[in-house]
Structure 1
């Protein structure tokens, strides 16, 4: 039996993280698709607004979300599951999560389609995250400007899900 893997997939909203992570998890023999945003959605009352500027409460809730996801990833991995953990991890948030899970040798994947592709994908899905006060180029620019060049960076603007998955699994 092969060793369980840990694959972290990040990118801006509408970068394809959920779709790609699900497809990667389905390609692995014993696997979990860990969606970091599920921990935010569990909050019934008192959820902070997650937008281009995060106040102290939003920062605290984001840290909690990452803590819970790292704990879950670690527990699934210890139980023999390969974990495909996807979330919006930009800048120090990515480096903090990677440091916290370093002993599990995570494979980092950054999906970075261009802002026009993010806008088109956001319009085409049922849940939308962007709007007038929060256009896709804000997150796309933050990703490029603030995130260290660690792991595999994929501009998936012109790629199919299958092509992205093959590239991830090839490494």
Structure 2
């Protein structure tokens, strides 16, 4: 069985795509990295601000390690795992190196900043979900960080004009080629 890591900035479509991808695979699991952040009841330090509070990076690393270990355990039990989280910059290599199960694929959802803004506005209107708070890094800054500081590993996919079905099909078409890490 394999592990597929899906990353991108907030409102890039990670959760929706990861769920649809997992549903298209037999014997699959969708590991949502953000659940490990939300498990912290008291003492949680959010990453949102451009300059995070002390402890935020420590908790982020713990979240990534727990998600990677959970993905490994499910893969060892015979599941194909779709691990989805916001994993930017050098953290992507850290997560890839922490995962021991193989084969391993990485998909970076990289819609344009304009497409992310539109999706974020739709989420606010339809579900009341607010991804970008005042004082947090902007969509443009996160998009720039994704494109300039995240290692160019795996399959980078501009989903600006792709449907959900088209995105899943594109991922499936590249799992054993450009998305494959090892």
Question: Under TM normalisation by the shorter chain, which class is it?
Answer: over 0.9
Residue aligned with 1:130, SS: coil
Q: State the distance in 2 between where 1:105 and 1:56 align.
A: 35
Root-mean-square deviation (CA, aligned residues, Å) is 1.2
- Structure 2 unaligned runs (5+)? 175-182
How far is the alpha carbon of 1:124 from its aligned partner?
Answer: 1.3
Partner of 1:153: 156
Partner of 1:67: 65
- Structure 1 unaligned runs (5+)? none
How far is the alpha carbon of 1:76 from its aligned partner?
Answer: 0.3
Q: State the distance in 1 between where 2:100 and 2:152 align.
A: 16
How far is the alpha carbon of 1:22 from its aligned partner?
Answer: 0.3
Q: Which moved more, 1:82-91 or 1:101-110?
A: 101-110
In the superposition, the TM-score normalised over structure 2's length comes to: 0.88
Q: How far does the alpha carbon of each residue in 1:70-129 deviate from its partner, in whole angstroms, 9 at most, with x for none?
A: 110011000000000000011111010111125523110000111111111112113211
Correspondence 1:31-42 to 2 at 5 A: 31-42=28-39
Residue aligned with 1:91, SS: coil
Matched, 1:19 2:22: no
Q: State the distance in 2 between where 1:47 and 1:26 align.
A: 31
Q: State the distance in 2 between where 1:117 and 1:21 align.
A: 18
Matched, 1:80 2:82: no
Q: Report the count of equivalent residues.
A: 168
In the superposition, the TM-score normalised over structure 1's length comes to: 0.94
CA contact (8 A) 2:72 2:101 kept: no
2:168 alignment partner, one of 141, 146, 165: 165
